[in-house]
Amino acid sequence: MSIVFQHWSASWPVLIAYVLLAAWHLAGLRGTVTVPGPGTNRSQLAREAAVFQLGLAVITLALVSPLGYWSTVYLSARAGQELLVAVTGPGLIVLGAPWAALRLRPGGLIKLAARPLVAVVAANVVWIAWQLPVLADATRGSAAVRLAEYLTYVVAGVVFWLQLISSRPMAQQSAPLRRFALLTGTVIASTVLGMALVFGANELYPTYAARAHSGMTVVQDQQLAGAMFWMGMLGPLVVAGVALLMQWFSNEESADLAAGLDRLLTPRRHDWPSRPVHR
């Protein structure tokens, strides 16, 4: 149990950012609850607010809890922290649709959503770049670099999820199949990165070979980190992919394909008899 109560970090920049964002959101939420927007009600706003606050809490706990300390010791702990900060937390933030409560104008986000390919590629570049040994090692030696890593993770994660799911008052402009294609590309990128670490036999992160690093070799820890990153990314991406496919099947754009399949599966009726008629 000591692992739960030890190594909590009073990271003041993280805690201050959390308190300010949470308070800002709750203060702005009072106006949106009093005058709900079109197509919304108070219960929906309450659910979204709870999801947004949960997203903030997930990111904050990933940084100030013992996971933040162990992420500087074990690569596998670092992979778990990255998944929470870069994928899970931002996904909850986007689902929470906090833009009206935070009084943020969605114009810039809408312009960004108009270029989903650029946004998704940029998010993947950010995720992969921080896995490079030179940058991963830099985060251990500099608190400023570590904070920059966290900030870019959160921004990239929010930008990424905005391309896949709707977040009031922004509605998705891209067709579900196009978003599914972007999702597939992300799955491929995360799978390649995870496999490179899982099947790698050389130490890519020698700075993690310290006294506190015990119980497994750096290579074994590196392989475990690759498996966690691979499977951890795959879970939410598969859920999002299934949701997009269900949305596509329910849209009118799939009606033509369904009609075509019906024509292929329905036996054709010929105008001529199947047997020659003898007169």
pLDDT digits (tens, 9 = 90+) for 189-243: 999 999 999 998 788 887 777 656 777 888 888 899 999 988 988 889 998 888 8
Q: List the single range of 22-31, 188-197, 219-228, 250-259 with lowest mean pLDDT.
A: 250-259
What is the value of pTM for the model shown?
0.82
pLDDT tier at 268 (50, 70, 90 boundaries)?
A: low
The predicted structure's pLDDT at residue 125: 94
Would you say residue 52 has pLDDT above 90?
yes
Please list the residues that pair with 167 across neighbouring strands: 170
51, 39 contact by CB (below 8 A):
no
Would you say residue 39 has pLDDT above 60?
no
The predicted structure's pLDDT at residue 246: 85
pLDDT tier at 12 (50, 70, 90 boundaries)?
A: confident
Q: φ and ψ at 172, to 5 degrees?
A: -65, 130
The predicted structure's pLDDT at residue 16: 92
pLDDT tier at 85 (50, 70, 90 boundaries)?
A: very high
Domain boundaries, the chain: 2-250
Biggest distance spanned by C-alpha atoms of the chain: 99
- Share of residues in the chain with pLDDT > 70 (%): 78
Q: Which residue has the higher pLDDT, 103 or 50?
A: 50
Mean pLDDT of 78-106: 88
- At residue 149's C-alpha, the angle toward residues 230 and 82, to 5°, is 30
Please provide the DSSP assignment of the chain as one string. Answer: -HHHHS-----HHHHHHHHHHHHHHHHHHHHHHHSPPTT--HHHHHHHHHHHHHHHHHHHHHHHSHHHHHTTT-HHHHHHHHHIIIIIHHHHHHHT--TTTTT--THHHHHHHT-HHHHHHHHHHHHHHTTSHHHHHHHHH-HHHHHHHHHHHHHHHHHHHHTTS-BTTB---S-HHHHHHHHHHHHHHHHHHHHHHHS--S-S-GGG-STT--SS-HHHHHHHHHHHHHHHHHHHHHHHHHHHHHHHHHSGGGHHHHHHHHHHHSPPPPSS-SSPPP-
pLDDT tier at 251 (50, 70, 90 boundaries)?
A: low
pLDDT tier at 73 (50, 70, 90 boundaries)?
A: confident
- At residue 154's C-alpha, the angle toward residues 69 and 109, to 5°, is 175
Q: Which residue has the higher pLDDT, 110 or 120?
A: 120
Q: Which residue has the higher pLDDT, 70 or 84?
A: 84
